[in-house]
Amino acid sequence: MAGKKQYIVDERLWQKMISQESFSGEVKFMEPMKAHTYLQIGGEADVFACPQDTVSLENILAALNEERIPFVTVGGGTNILVKDGGIYGVVISLKNFRRSDIAKEEKDMVMFFAESGTPLQKLVSFSKENGYSGIEGLAGIPGSVGGAIAGNAGAFGYSIKNMLVSVRMTNPDKGIYEMSASELGLEYRASKLPEDTVILSANMRLRKDVKEDVAKRINSFLKRKRETQPLSEMSAGCVFKNPEGASAGRLIDEAGCKGMRIGNAEVSRMHANFFINKGNAKASDFLKLMDEVKKKVMKVFGTELEPEIRIMGRNVN
C-alpha cells in the first residue's frame, strides 16, 4: 500500500497482547518521536510505552517476544536520530525508573545506586552537594544513566566506565540478571550491551573528597562545555566519534564544513561536530548533511568518520 504507513502494532493488537492488569504506566499510539528527542526530529513510533515498574516492563518484553515485535529502549533521547518514517514496533521509555540513593558507605567511598531513567545530572548535582568525586567530567551531559551506560558517555578524560561497578538488566530471553562493568565491554562511546537488553539500574562507586574541590572541578567543566558547545540549541551532541588521535570537530571545521546546511539541518558554527535542527528539520536532511560532511572530511583528510549518534527507525515510504 504505497504512501500509507504500515503499523506492526496498533492499539487493538496492544490491548490484545497486554492486559490492563499486567501493565501499569503510560502508553501512546502513533506517537511523534520528535517529542521525545533533544533534536526534536523523528516520525511516529507505533507505540510509545513508559512502564511504571519492572513487572510491567517484563510483561511487555514477554509479549513482544512472543509476537516477534521489535522494540527499542530510550532514555532521554539526547543521542538519537529517529528517521522520518518513525519506528516500526514499540519504543520503551525508562523515564519512570528514577530511584537513586546511596547503597553503601565506606570510609573513603560511597556506592551509589541509580535506576536507568535517573537524569545523569541528578547524580552530578548530588556529588557536588556532597563532595563525591569521579563523575565531574560528566557535568552538563544531558540524558539518563541508562543511555550514558549504553554509550559509555564521557568528556574531558572521564567516562561513566570509570565509576561503574555493576549493571542490572533484563532481556526477553534471559529475564533479569546482573553484569559487572568489566563484562559490558565499555569503550570510547560504545558498549557491548547484548541486543534487546534493557538496562534497569546501576551501582557506581564514587570517592569521598573535599566538597569545594569537587564543586570547583564540576563548575570548570561546565564552563568549558558552555563556552565550546551549542548547549541551548536542538542537537544530539557530537555526531561523529573522534577518530584515533584526532578530533572529529577539528577535521570537520578544517574541511570547511562549519555552517554547512541542508534544509534546516546545519553544522554548528560554534562546534563543528554538533549538527543543529534550526527548526522543523527532517531526519533525511540531517542524514544527507552527515553524508556530505563525511565525504568532505574523507576528501580533505582521507579519514572515515563513524557516527557517534544512534540512528534508528525507517525512511518514509
Binding site for ligand FAD (CB under 6 A): 38, 72-80, 94, 116, 141-144, 146-148, 150-151, 153-155, 189, 198-199, 229, 231, 235-237, 310
Helix pair angle (120-130, 211-228), 10° resolution: 140
Closer of 171 and 298 to ligand FAD (Cβ): 171
Closest separation in Å from C-beta 145 to ligand FAD: 8
Closer of 43 and 147 to ligand FAD (Cβ): 147
Closest separation in Å from C-beta 159 to ligand FAD: 7
Closer of 134 and 147 to ligand FAD (Cβ): 147
Contact 39, 268 (CB under 8 A): no
Q: Is 204 exposed, middle or buried (0-12, 13-18, 19+ CB in 10 A)?
A: buried
Cα dist from 283 to 195, 265, 306, whole Å? 24, 8, 18
Return d(Cα 197, Cα 260) in angstroms, integer.
37
Closer of 208 and 314 to ligand FAD (Cβ): 314
Closest separation in Å from C-beta 198 to ligand FAD: 5
Closest separation in Å from C-beta 284 to ligand FAD: 20
Closest separation in Å from C-beta 78 to ligand FAD: 3
Cell 531526519, residue? Answer: 283
User: Mind giving me the DSSP string for 255-300?
Assistant: TT-TT-EETTEEE-SS-TTBEEE-SS--HHHHHHHHHHHHHHHHHH
Those residues whose C-beta lies under 8 Å from the C-beta of residue 299, and which sit 6 or more positions away, are 255
Closer of 141 and 204 to ligand FAD (Cβ): 141
Which cell numbers in the block locate residue 109? 567511598
Closest separation in Å from C-beta 136 to ligand FAD: 12
Closer of 77 and 86 to ligand FAD (Cβ): 77
Closest Cα partner for 92 from 53, 129, 120, 51?
51
